[in-house]
Amino acid sequence: MLVDDESGSIFYLPAFAQAATAGRWFEALHDEVPWRTQRRRMYDRDVDVPRLIASYRLAGVELPGALAEAALRIVEATQTPFNSAGLNLYRDGQDSVAPHNDHLYEIVACHPIALLSLGATRRMTIRSKTSGGEAGRERRRSFDLDLEAGSLLLMSYETQLHYDHGIPKTRAAVGPRISVALRVRPETLERDGG
């Protein structure tokens, strides 16, 4: 348990899935998912987001088998009614995600976000947003967490108010990594595909 207080809870579970299972899920998702690039406006130009992405509604009929299997295992283990999966493919060390928190309107309160890691180990940085406390006297908190294949990271809803998380680029020669982010999204967003 990395954090468990009024700022929420962050729980890292290495080897949630055995190495052979994690390897099988990685290969299947890498090959079967229709990965796409996303464009984002940066200053005055559109740039590619530095990773490939895909998203699924878990109730959808077209789920890749490996995703259905992994999601079911996570739903059962966490007793959380996840209904959406956001997938990220980091092709190498140059792919990344900038520090951010999940938008609170896109997730239902009281439910955690679950991040399953597959493939190469990548470091996640988790930083508290402010030093907090009276006159900012409390220490700013930061964690560097190496997310191993088969691991599961659970971040409670509240942590999205208090912490940013990101996957920085690395110069190290790393292979591809896939993360599967499971969320409980509000019904309205699910219906509108928002």
> Does position 120 bind ligand AKG by CB under 6 A?
no
**Options 10, 33, 83, 86; binder of ligand AKG; rule CB under 6 A:** 86
Least separation in angstroms between CB 134 and ligand AKG: 31
Task: Indicate the residue type of 49.
Answer: V
Least separation in angstroms between CB 119 and ligand AKG: 11
- Alpha helices for the chain (secondary structure H): 19-32, 65-78, 159-162, 187-192
What angle separates helix 19-32 from helix 65-78, to the nearest 10 degrees? 130
**Options 71, 181, 182, 184; binder of ligand AKG; rule CB under 6 A:** 181
Measure CA 87 to chain center.
8
Nearer to ligand AKG, 28 or 134 (CB): 28
Positions 5 through 64 that interact with ligand AKG (CB under 6 A)? none
Helix (H, G, I), strand (E, B) or coil at 69: helix
Least separation in angstroms between CB 98 and ligand AKG: 9
Structure token pair of residue 77: 């283990």
Nearer to ligand AKG, 45 or 190 (CB): 190
**Options 97, 107, 114, 152; binder of ligand AKG; rule CB under 6 A:** 97
Kindly provide the b/e burial profile for residues 107-130, where b requires at least 16 CB atoms within 10 angstroms of the residue's own CB.
bbeebbbbbbbbbbebebebebee
C-beta of residue 80 within 8 angstroms of C-beta of residue 112: yes
**Options 58, 167, 182, 184; binder of ligand AKG; rule CB under 6 A:** 167
Chain residues in the site for ligand AKG (CB under 6 A) = 86, 88, 97, 115, 124, 147, 165, 167, 179, 181
